Structure 1
Amino acid sequence: MKNISKLILVVCGLLYISCSNEQSLQKYFIDHQGDKDFVAVDLATSLLDARTREANLSDDEREALESIKKVNFLALPIKEDKSETKTRFEEEKTKINSILNAEKYETLMRFGSNGTKAVLKFEGEEDNIDEMIVFASNKERGLALVRVLGDDMKPANIAKLMNAIDKGSVDIGAIKDIIGEVNIN
């Protein structure tokens, strides 16, 4: 009887821990998909791959592109005529920072300029990243949250891919159009 009581206590303890109401980044994205104040876009990398087949990518750049499975983009632009969006901006910024301060996310770098602050975080091993997150905010323009999901993404190869994108070797016109519409950059 004592063993059964102990087993029940252990199971209840595990259930309590697993049912924590701590918000996850995935749940945050899902909760804001249909929100009229947000711009939400989910891109399968097959769309990027179709546009880059003709590109002259190195093996490392192609490996980086193939390691990316999905890109989620969520933005809250600040509308000039609505003061409530500025209040909402502060609330959502606090929520996102709270989620990203979880132990599972490691900070890779922080950067900022012209009033925009950004942080790059990741989940996984330093040489095999499973999830990368970019969070940028600007009090005048709004906030943007980008979540890159993949399998064993290597930071060095991702940096090479970003360099290829910067040089124009990879066509990401659709993504640039989305970001341009939101005007967070």
Structure 2
Amino acid sequence: MKNIIKIVTIACVMLLMSCNNGVSLQRYFVDHQGDADFIAVDLATSLLDARTREVQLSEEEREALESIKKVNFLAMPLKDENKARYEEEKEKINTILNANKYETLMRFGSNGTKAVLKFQGDEDNIDEMIVFASNKERGLALVRVLGDDMKPENIAKLMDAIDKGNVDMGAIKDILGEVKID
């Protein structure tokens, strides 16, 4: 009987220790949805589906698009009155992203903008991709792409097609409406 009590006690302690009291990226997005300093947009890829049916996508590009389930976008345009908060929020996001559950795929930057691309899952089948960019003159942006078994090479092909103008981004522009980040 004493062994059962010890085992149950150890299991409870391990369970409590495994709970993370830190802020998750999901919690960060939820907490900042109604914040006046932030612009928040959530896109389900089903909203883009009707638009992209008319576009000629390769099999890999279509597979990449279908593997994406949801895109969360959060931005904090920099203004004189929120410069101190900008630094605080940037630090909070970096703390969340530096958690062990996210792996860095690449870091890049130019013209005062620093960005990092992180992911969760394994390198061949990504379940979550995060892009975090900050600029001391413009503000910060955080993009979270949720999906099922996203393949990096297919996502890269889809991004290339978007960059070349082969994919009509009118659906996203319609959804964002009059939102201006600069």
TM-score by length of 2: 0.93
| Matched residue type, 2:180 | E
CA RMSD of aligned residues (A): 1.7
Deviation at 1:11, TM superposition (A): 3.2
Q: Distance in 2 between matches of 1:137 and 1:176?
A: 22
Q: Which residue of 2 aligns with 1:181?
A: 180
Q: Which residue of 2 aligns with 1:101?
A: 98
Deviation at 1:176, TM superposition (A): 5.4
Q: Which residue of 1 aligns with 2:55?
A: 55
Pick one of 139, 143, 149 that aligns with 1:142. 139
Q: Deviations over 1:146-177 (max 9, x none)?
A: 00000000000000000110111111235457
Q: Distance in 2 between matches of 1:176 and 1:111?
A: 26
The count of corresponding residues between Structure 1 and Structure 2 is 180
* Gap runs ≥5 in structure 1: none
Corresponding position: 1:66 with 2:63? no
Deviation at 1:7, TM superposition (A): 2.8
Paired residue secondary structure (1:182): coil
Deviation at 1:180, TM superposition (A): 6.9
Deviation at 1:57, TM superposition (A): 0.3
Q: Deviations over 1:65-113 (max 9, x none)?
A: 0000000000111124x1xx11110001001000100111111111111
| Matched residue type, 2:41 | V
8 Å CA contact 2:113, 2:135 repeated in 1: yes
Corresponding position: 1:6 with 2:15? no
Q: Distance in 2 between matches of 1:17 and 1:174?
A: 45
Paired residue secondary structure (2:180): helix
Which of structure 1's runs of 4+ aligned residues deviate more than 6 A? none
* Gap runs ≥5 in structure 2: none
TM-score by length of 1: 0.91
Change (3 A) 1:93 1:176: farther
